[in-house]
Chain A
Amino acid sequence: MNVIETSQLTHRYGRTDAVQGLDLAVPEGSVFALLGPNGAGKTTTIKILMNLLAPTSGTARILGVDSRRLGPSELAQIGYVSENQQLPLWMTVAGVIAYCRPLYPTWDRALEATLLEQFELPRERKLRHLSRGILMKTALLISLAYRPKLLILDEPFSGLDPLARDEFARGLLEASTAGDWTILVSSHDIEEVERLCDWVGILEMGRLRSAEATEGLLRRFRWVEVAMPAVATVPPVIRSSWLDLAHSTNLVRFAESAYEGDISEQAYRDCFPGASVSVRPMSLREIFIAQARATRTQRKGAAA
Chain B
Amino acid sequence: MKTFWSILKKDCRRLAVPFALWLFVLGFNLWLAVTTKVPMAMVGNPLVTIGLITGTTVYWVLTVILSAGVILEDPPKGTAAFWLTRPLARGEVVAAKMSLLAGLVLLPVLVHSAALIGLGASGRTVALSALEQCLREGGVPFMTAALAITAEAFGQFAINAILIVIGAVVVAVITQILLAKHHGASTPHLPQTPNSLGASTALATEILSFAFAGGVLVWRYLRRHARFTILVVALGSLLLVLTPIFWKWDFLNHWRVQRGQTLPHRSQLRFFPTEAKGGNRPYAFAVLSLSSDAAGNVTVPRQLSKIEFIWSGGERTPLASFLNLQTLPLARYAPESLSKLLAPVAILNLPRRAVVPMTLPAMPPALRRRLTREPATFHAEVVASVRRYEIMGELPLKLGASKSWGLFDTEVQGWDLTAAGVTVTLREGSTASMLAGALGYAEGTQIEESRGGGRRSPSDFGSICLLVNRSRREALLPAEVTAEGITKFGAYVAQRYTLDFSSEAVNQAWLDQAVLVRVRFVELASADGNLDFEGLILSPPMP
Contacts and interface: CB of A to CB of B under 8 A. Distances in A.
A84 B79 contact: yes
B80 A103 contact: no
Contact of A103 (B13, B84, B88): B88
Interface string A60-78: 0000000000011101101
Given A54-B225, A90-B14, A99-B6, A72 B82 contact: no
A53 interface: yes
A80 B87 contact: no
A51 B224 CA distance: 10
Given A52-B79, A85-B80, A86-B80, A102 B2 contact: yes
A50 interface: yes
Contacts of B225: 54
B85 A78 contact: yes
Contacts of B73: 88
Given A103-B3, A103-B6, A75 B82 contact: no
A99 B14 CA distance: 12
Given A85-B80, A99-B6, A99-B10, A72 B85 contact: no
B79 A47 contact: yes
B82 A73 contact: no
Contacts of B85: 50, 52, 75, 78, 80, 85
B87 A86 contact: no
Contacts of A84: 79-80
A100 interface: yes
Nearest to B9: A99
A86 B73 CA distance: 10
A104 interface: yes
Nearest to B7: A99
A65 to B, nearest CB: 13
Given A84-B79, A99-B6, A103-B6, A52 B84 contact: yes
Contacts of A99: 6, 10
B81 interface: yes
A103 B79 contact: no
A75 B82 CA distance: 12
Contacts of A52: 79, 84-85
Interface string B77-104: 0011110111111000000000000000
Contacts of B81: 86
Contacts of A80: 85
A232 interface: no
A99 to B, nearest CB: 6
Nearest to A143: B85
Contacts of B86: 75, 100, 103
A64 B448 CA distance: 74
Interface string B48-91: 00000000000000000000000001000001111011111100
Interface in B1-46: 2-3, 6, 10, 13-14
Contacts of A104: 87
A103 B13 CA distance: 17
A72 B79 contact: no
A159 to B, nearest CB: 15
Interface string A38-53: 0000000001001111
Interface string A205-233: 00000000000000000000000000000
A13 to B, nearest CB: 12
A103 B81 CA distance: 16
A90 to B, nearest CB: 6
A130 interface: no
Interface string A82-122: 10111110100001000110111000000000000000000
**Which of A80, A86, A100: most chain B Cβ within 10 A?**
A86
A72 B89 contact: yes
Contacts of A47: 79
Nearest to B79: A52
Name the residue in A73, A84, A85, A87 with the highest tally of chain B Cβ atoms < 10 Å from its Cβ. Answer: A85
B15 to A, nearest CB: 10
Contacts of B2: 102-103
A76 B87 contact: yes
Contacts of B89: 71-72
B236 to A, nearest CB: 24
Given A73-B87, A90-B14, A104-B87, A85 B82 contact: yes
B153 to A, nearest CB: 9
Interface string A272-293: 0000000000000000000000
A215 to B, nearest CB: 31
Interface in B504-538: none
B405 to A, nearest CB: 47
A71 B13 CA distance: 26
A102 B6 contact: yes
Contacts of A51: 84
B87 A88 contact: no
Interface in B318-347: none
Contacts of B14: 88, 90
A72 B80 contact: no
B6 A88 contact: no
Given A47-B79, A52-B79, A84-B80, A72 B10 contact: no
Nearest to A87: B82
Given A102-B2, A102-B6, A103-B6, A75 B87 contact: yes
Contacts of A50: 84-85
A151 to B, nearest CB: 12
Given A75-B87, A104-B87, A86 B82 contact: yes
A47 to B, nearest CB: 5
A104 B2 CA distance: 10
Nearest to A105: B87
Contacts of B3: 72, 103
Contacts of A54: 225
Nearest to A68: B225
B95 to A, nearest CB: 14
Contacts of B13: 95
Nearest to A72: B87
Which of B14, B73, B86, B87 has the largest number of chain A CB atoms within 10 A?
B87
Interface in A261-281: none
A8 to B, nearest CB: 20
A86 B74 CA distance: 10
28 contacts: A47-B79, A50-B84, A50-B85, A51-B84, A52-B79, A53-B79, A71-B87, A71-B89, A72-B3, A75-B86, A75-B87, A75-B88, A78-B85, A80-B85, A82-B80, A85-B80, A85-B82, A85-B85, A86-B80, A87-B82, A88-B73, A88-B82, A90-B14, A99-B6, A103-B3, A103-B6, A103-B86, A103-B88
User: Top 7 A-B pairs ranked by shortest CB distance?
Assistant: A72-B87, A52-B79, A76-B87, A75-B87, A80-B85, A86-B80, A54-B225
Given A71-B89, A88-B10, A103-B86, 8 more contacts: A52-B85, A72-B3, A82-B80, A90-B14, A99-B10, A100-B86, A103-B2, A103-B87
